[in-house]
Structure 1
Amino acid sequence: MDDLDHRLIAALRHDARAPVATLAQALGVSRGTITNRMARLERDGVITGYTVRLRPDAAPDEIRAWTSLAVKGNQHSVIRALLGEPGVAELHDTNGRWDLVAELRVADLAELSKALERIRGIPGISGSETSVHLQTFRG
């Protein structure tokens, strides 16, 4: 995946229902390029479907987790890769022991395991720690 693929995925995360023409204009490429990219990403299994975003309390069966990440080297390339990861719902730059914190939202523990495996395989990630969300007391 290249930078355009990552930017396309980020745009789709923001609005999975955006028309191809709108995506093409926002990314500065032709509609044909967007259509071809989306077809390839679907064919390759990178995009496995399109969805809606719900309030956190509206998806009680969803597994949520936070992964704290240490980055060695180019943080920008790591961020681009994480923004293209289907399990990453939000990504935050932090200070302290960890460089980034990713909120993961997945359907089940098997999907969480696969997402963590993909994330840990991103070049530049030198360490991670994951906590699974159990309960919210104030939201």
Structure 2
Amino acid sequence: MKRVLDKVDEKILAQLAENARLSHNDIAVTVNLSRNAVRLRIDRLERDGFIRGYTIIKGSATPESGPIRALMFVYRKDRMRGGDVLKYVRSVQEVVTCDVMSGDLDVVLHVEAVSVDRIHKLWDEISALPEVLNTVTSFVLTRAKGSPHGT
């Protein structure tokens, strides 16, 4: 009998496909399970053939191959009760900084990712959060001043 994956298994697989070096603890935070439960699920996914190996993707170490940067502006439905949005973005490794703003703008995320596809996936995930009203994402074309590593 072929086993069907549940949503938690799918999320674990998606995270490992994006970064196979994620710790069980990092995954546990995003799927709301204990570290041990995540370890057991990964063991089962390996045993059942859903994970057949881990690999590396070789890249260049030159500065030109640095991360793709973007600013994501997040508007929450209720600024005073939007804590789940902040909790979620704190768990995303590509979010370098998260600034809660005054005025019309609500939250600004400084994102650094290995690909445009990863930033698009983050946009999908964040815009789908129940507390998010709207998002706007702008890609950084050139950094005119500041640290090249977002620090």
The two structures have a TM-score, normalised by structure 2, of 0.53
Report the alpha carbon displacement of residue 116 of structure 1 after superposing the two structures with TM: 0.7
- Which residue identity is paired with 1:109? V
RMSD over equivalenced CA pairs, Å: 3.1
Report the alpha carbon displacement of residue 110 of structure 1 after superposing the two structures with TM: 1.1
**CA deviation vs aligned residue, 1:37-88 (integer Å, no higher than 9, x gap):** 66379779xxxxxxxxxxxxx6753101001111113211111111123432
- Which residue identity is paired with 1:114? K
Match of 2:100 among 87, 90, 93: 93
Q: Quick one: structure 1 residues 41 and 109, their matched pair in 2 at CA, closer, same or farther if it must change by over 3 Å?
A: farther
Larger radius of gyration: 2
Match of 1:64 among 60, 69, 73: 69
Q: Quick one: structure 1 residues 35 and 93, their matched pair in 2 at CA, closer, same or farther if it must change by over 3 Å?
A: same
Q: Percent identity?
A: 18
Aligned to 2:39: 39
* Number of aligned residue pairs: 98
**Post-superposition, which runs of at least 4 consecutive aligned residues in structure 1 deviate over 3 A?**
37-44
Q: 1:112 is paired with a residue of what secondary structure? A: helix
Report the alpha carbon displacement of residue 36 of structure 1 after superposing the two structures with TM: 1.8
Q: Quick one: structure 1 residues 112 and 98, their matched pair in 2 at CA, closer, same or farther if it must change by over 3 Å?
A: same
Q: Quick one: structure 1 residues 40 and 93, their matched pair in 2 at CA, closer, same or farther if it must change by over 3 Å?
A: farther
Q: Quick one: structure 1 residues 68 and 108, their matched pair in 2 at CA, closer, same or farther if it must change by over 3 Å?
A: same
Unaligned regions of 5+ residues in structure 2, if any?
1-21, 26-32, 46-62, 147-151
Which has the bigger relative contact order, CA under 8 A and spacing at least 6? 1
Aligned to 2:85: 78
Matches within 5 A, 1:113-128: 113-128=120-135
Is 2:149 the partner of 1:134? no
Matches within 5 A, 1:1-16: none
